Amino acid sequence: MRVMVLGLTVAACLLTPGAEAFDYDTSGKAVAYAMPVLAGGVAIYKKDWKGLAMLSVTTVLTYGTAYGIKQLVKSCRPYMKPCVHGGSGWDSFPSTTSAIASAPSSFLWNRYGWEWGLPAFVISKYPSWALQKSRKNKLVDGLASTALSWGYNILLVTRYHKPWNQYAERGFYSGLDGDTEGVYAKVGYRF
């Protein structure tokens, strides 16, 4: 959690606007590019090298898929209204900036749980909102990128299990877990 707070503090200091008008587009992109660094910092903090590799793979796949779909689907950007065929600005759907931000937040949620994932998820929605506010993307563009990242993370990311130290973690333990079949409670003793 310390890494998350440190990352947010650094991002807030870097993104503080000066006397000029606030640029939503630039701040959204800055947060989007900071998200993989933040998630990588969490994985390094936990000494989770396998998780760092999973983060890299899911981020590259999410970005690559969003970029590929963007080349196939011609969706006009909001600032282009009315759309003129043959011009630039037909690459709105899905948002690659939102893809860069959504992949790490989905990774943190699936790998480390909602305690890490929920704050990252909320932060990762800022780039989508900022690009919508600056009229670069539509709401559906960011939602599509979020759906892509969530899908790749469900398929490829496994839950993190702290390496068990048999001497340090003796005694009673309990846990609550759930899946599609129900909720399970477990109680035991490690010798």
- Every domain of the chain and the residues it spans: 2-14+22-161
pLDDT given for residue 83 in this prediction: 66
| 25 confidence band (pLDDT: 50, 70, 90) | confident
pLDDT in tens, 177-187: 888 888 888 88
Of 136, 128, 141, 135, nearest to 73 (Cα)?
Answer: 141
Using the Cα atoms of residue 150, residue 151, residue 153 and residue 158 in order, give the sign of their dihedral: positive
Query: Would you say residue 20 has pLDDT above 80?
Result: no
Q: Give the residue from 63, 28, 57, 30 showing the smallest Cα distance to 43.
A: 57
DSSP state of 47: T
Task: Please give the distance of CA 8 from its chain centroid, rounded to a whole number.
Answer: 14
Measured between alpha carbons, how far is residue 111 from residues 33, 83, 118, 136 in Å?
20, 42, 12, 31
Q: What would the pLDDT profile of 39-66 be if each residue is shown by its tens digit?
A: 999 999 988 899 999 999 999 999 999 8
**pTM for the full model?**
0.69
DSSP 89: -
Q: Give the least confident one: 41-45, 102-106, 126-130, 165-169.
A: 165-169
